[in-house]
Amino acid sequence: MPSNPTTPVTTLELRTMKREGRKIVALTAYDALFARLVDSAGADVVLVGDSVNTVLCGQPTTLSATLEQMVYHGRIVRAGVERALLVLDMPFLSYQVSVEDAKRNAGRAMQVTGAAAVKLEGGAWLVPTVRALVEIGIPVMAHLGFTPQSVHALGGARVQGRDPEAADRLVTDAQALEAAGAFALVLELVPAPVAGRVTEALTIPTIGIGSGGACDGQVLVLHDMLGLNESFKARFLKRYANLAEDVRGAVRAFGDDVRSGRYPDPEHSFKA
């Protein structure tokens, strides 16, 4: 459990955690019920990821996620979070077209959802946007390595930064994003030694997913970690439960009880 289980987590607290060597625990959530469970169990960051588009909506990528979709899920997740820092993914084309678009869309998203920060994918090209958002009071979590909104340009979900030039570029991009004002950085599918280099080069925390243990924290998609999303079988994923089979078992038991007449029984019925 966190050292201060009732104190709300802030962007500054994450930097303190890095400085003190305390690992950051982050998970996704897409609704109030799961958000409440994740928050009460001690997660430091709750991410309303655009992965909702693939995990809950059955789409092949995150690219078709809309701002309206993210705002909707952000609002209901906010209802379940009391302590964790709530971060909202900005979806594809909500911030890439222009800085003004990014300011308008990110500002509206924070205003309507009550999120404390937004997350953007991209390298040094994103610096003007990050700087502009930070200047108007919108905290930005950056995202490097494999960036799902660029899945087609990258040729699929592939590890990034394997060769020396690409690794150097990751470090340079990370430093540029920190200088622009990003308060944290997600590193996805980056070789562990490279993620370690990036982490050492920054004063802001890194949060890894498939990027080794040197990062200042880790994030997983909740439904993957719980074993609900059986089709996702990435090497980096550790399943901490097998809830898909639990759900099937519960549905089968319910069906058996209904068909046999065991449910509802007197205990679960109302008297006149």
Residues labelled catalytic: 188
Cα–Cα distance between 186 and 119 in angstroms, integer?
A: 9
Phi-psi group of 148: left, alpha or beta (phi > 0 → left; psi -120 to 50 → alpha; rest → beta): alpha
**Residue 50 neighbours by CB under 8 Å, 6+ apart:** 62, 65, 70, 89, 90, 91, 92, 148, 149
Other beta carbons less than 10 A from residue 179's beta carbon: 12
The secondary structure of residue 100, as a DSSP letter, is H
Contact (CB, 8 A) for 190 and 209: no
